Amino acid sequence: QVQLVQSGAEVKEPGASVKVSCKASGYTFTAYFIHWVRQAPGQGLEWIGWINPNDGGTKYAQNFQGRVSMTIGTSMTTAYMELSRLRPDDTAIYYCGRAIPADQAIDIWGQGTVVNVSS
């Protein structure tokens, strides 16, 4: 079936980087954008950006510009999101999601990856 499986929980110190993976299966990977969304403790959903697996094109939210990088693995089934210069307020659950081509609504979600930034 169609699914996205994310990498496991991470604990990082402030200033470090984290790279979260999102492995797709059950569909044509290059036909759908992958979006990344996060939820900090007690907060709502925050859109981080998207990547087009077909050509590697990206769009990032201004809040993350300069700190985030979204890439596609050479296997062409896995998307990655790397966030650098981590701060304690980057502590959150990070989700990847597949987007419907016509309107970019996220119809399939990964299970989420907990990233804890603490010294």
Question: Is the distance from CB of 105 to CB of 99 less than 8 angstroms?
Answer: yes
Answer whether 77's CB lies under 8 Å from 88's CB. Answer: no
Among 1, 8, 44, 75, binds another protein (CB under 8 A): 44
Two structure tokens written together for 9: 């929980």
Site string for another protein, 86-115 (x = CB under 8 A): ---------x-x-xx-xxxxxx-xxxx---
Which residues are CB-neighbours of 47 under 8 A, at least 6 positions away? 35, 36, 37, 61
Decide: is 9 part of the binding site for another protein (CB under 8 A): no
118 binds another protein (CB under 8 A): no
Query: Shortest gap between Cβ of 89 and another protein (angstroms)?
Result: 17
| Contact set with another protein (CB under 8 A) | 35, 37, 44-47, 49-50, 59, 61-63, 95, 97, 99-100, 102-107, 109-112
